[in-house]
Structure 1
Amino acid sequence: MSLLDHLIELRKRLIWSMVAFIICFGFCYWQSERIFAFLADPLADALGEGRRLIYTDLLEAFFTRVKISMWAALFVSFPVIATQIWMFVAPGLYKNERNAFLPFLIATPVMFFLGAGILYYLILPQAFHFFLGFQTTGPVDGLGLAIDFEGKISEYLSLIMSLIFAFGLSFELPVLLTLLARVGIVSAAGLASKRRYAIVGVFVFAAVVTPPDVISQVSLAIPMWGLYEISILCARLIEKKRREKEEAEDADAGL
């Protein structure tokens, strides 16, 4: 294909991706109240009955709905967008390259949703109970005032969406490192030798992408450390299969 043909093909894939996103955005805005209820459910369980979230700006609730809809639309339309990316890239790959790359393309959303699910169902309920434990129901020894949580919807949703993105992104680590091992850029021995730097790196990453509290940072850093160790094991398996294939080819060549 000529450069112009490539640009026309790219425009076609971008248009399909944008159409899919717009359709998903419309659907998600229609269902934005349900999406908000789903995202707020861990906090609702921790708060109990009769509690609420507030908004203090007249436009805050509307723009929060728009933000939720865009965020959810990106999730829903991702399979279509990923398919369009694959359809643009695949014709330029050899058959063995397509067969090698396709499993990683499939594993990417699976690992992302696995990380988001672990955060939503396991970590958030514990974290919310911990942070809400700092409330006080009245004066202490006759001094002070009651401390109650009155969260804003925009701040809460910014927090939970950033955490979901951070956990989902961090669970892509084994996919990335295994792909790099597959193409020979990294090795299992090299990853193992850089373990101490990787541990520091995951804690720095967790400190940057999570809220400034130790619970959130450790909750992200420890799974990332475990995923790094899994990546080393995956790299060793790939190297073992590569050696076996090379030995088989050498044996065939010797015959």
Structure 2
Amino acid sequence: MSEADIDDQPLPLVAHLTELRDRILRALVAVLVVFICLFPFANEIYTFVSEPLRALLPEGATMIATEVASPFLTPFKLTLVTAVFAAIPYILYQIWSFVAPGMYKHEKRFAIPMLVSSIALFYAGAAFAYFVVFPLIFAFFTSVGPEGITIMTDINSYLNFVLKLFFAFGVAFEIPIAAIIMIWAGITDADTLARKRPYIIVGCFIFGMLLTPPDVISQSLLAIPMWILFEFGVFFGRFVQKREEVDSA
């Protein structure tokens, strides 16, 4: 591959640092703008996120705030995280705009679909956690408490718990992207990944066991989608591998 395939001329180090600063500032401003727009609805956002638990609380049980500032700070923190999540496409666009001038044309053709797919899969993982996993987890937790114990979950503890799960499931749904990138980078190939399928399946179920209640149904609802996503990664990775072999021929 010749240097002529690079679209932009090299820039001095100071120019790169200046551009990096500008990109970071634009990303921060985007998050701030989204946060300002969402903050008036902070309580409504928290109500929406807490619905999977509140819908399963026994009659008379409620969520509580055990710290003086929690009624304000917890919705505030959730709104800020929501703003970051919502601004992820723009943040990644700024990152892409910074690194793209140094990439070859064929790398750009590969990177753009990967970037879009990774965003979509992360959002899909978070949605899967909210609509599928949360109801199962909270149904289990609210049904196994000792008799005579009233469930009254602290709003900040709940938020910390669900944010970890949102992030974990978002990352877990990046499995096909990770598989394709490894194949494209030459770290492994599709056939090697396919031969390791039994280990991948076991790993998916172990991961599912660690993140869900200790029952087979909940564990399978996470492990099976991860396995399917791995198979998608191997399937599309074969096309990437063939394309690389053609380009290098």
User: In 1, are the aligned partners of 2:62 and 2:151 still within 8 Å (CA)?
Assistant: no
Question: Once the 2 structures are TM-superposed, how far is the Cα of residue 173 of structure 1 from its aligned partner?
Answer: 1.2
Verify: 1:34 aligned to 2:44, yes or no.
yes
Of the candidates 91, 113, 118, which is equivalent to residue 108 of structure 1? 118
TM-score (norm 2): 0.84
Q: Which of residues 75, 81, 86 in structure 2 aligns to 1:76?
A: 86
Q: Which amino acid aligns with 2:172?
A: S
Q: How far apart are 1:102 and its partner, in Å?
A: 0.3
Equivalent residue, structure 1, for 2:193: 191
1:15 aligned partner, one-letter code: L
For the residue of structure 2 that corresponds to 1:46, the secondary structure is coil
Which amino acid letter does the alignment assign opposite residue 22 of structure 1? L
Corresponding residue for residue 94 of structure 1: 104
The correspondence for 2:55, drawn from 37, 40, 45, is 45
* Paired residue secondary structure (1:147): coil
Q: 2:214 maps to which residue? A: 214
CA 1:146–1:55: 2 relative to 1, 3 Å: same
CA distance in 2, matches of 1:83, 1:29: 24
After superposition, residues 99-178 of structure 1 pair within 5 angstroms as 99-135=109-145, 146-178=148-180
Q: Distance in 2 between matches of 1:240 and 1:94?
A: 19
Q: Alpha-carbon deviation of 1:204?
A: 5.5
* Structure 1 residue 217: Cα displacement: 5.8
Worse overlay, 95-104 or 198-207: 198-207
Quick check: 1:231 aligned with 2:233? yes
* Larger RCO of the pair (alpha carbons < 8 Å, separation 6+): 2
User: Structure 2: which amino acid aligns with 1:183?
Assistant: A
**Residue 23 of structure 1 aligns with which residue?**
33
State the Cα distance separating 1:205 from its structure 2 match.
Answer: 4.9
Question: Which shifted more, 1-10 or 175-184?
Answer: 175-184
In 2, the alpha carbon distance for the partners of 1:164 and 1:5 equals 37
Q: Could you say what the CA RMSD is over the residues aligned between the two structures, in angstroms?
A: 2.5
Corresponding position: 1:55 with 2:65: yes
Equivalents in 1 of 2:144, 2:96: separation in Å?
A: 49
1:142-186 C-alpha deviation (Å, 9 max, x unpaired): xxx522211110111111111111111110111121122223332
Contact 2:30–2:87 at 8 Å: present in 1 too?
A: yes
* CA deviation after TM superposition for structure 1 residue 50, in Å: 5.0
Letter of the 1:230 counterpart? F
User: With structure 1 as the length reference, what TM-score do the two structures score?
Assistant: 0.82
- Distance in 1, matches of 2:98 and 2:238, equals 31
Which structure 1 residue ranges, 5 or more long, are not aligned?
137-144, 251-255
Structure 1 counterpart of 2:113, one-letter code: P
Of the two, which has the highest radius of gyration? Answer: 1
Tell me, in whole angstroms, the C-alpha distance in 1 between the residues paired with 2:220 and 2:161. 16
Cα deviation for residue 59 of structure 1 reads 1.7
**C-alpha distance in structure 2 between counterparts of 1:127 and 1:204, whole Å:** 16
Share of identical aligned residues, percent?
35
Match of 1:140 in 2: none
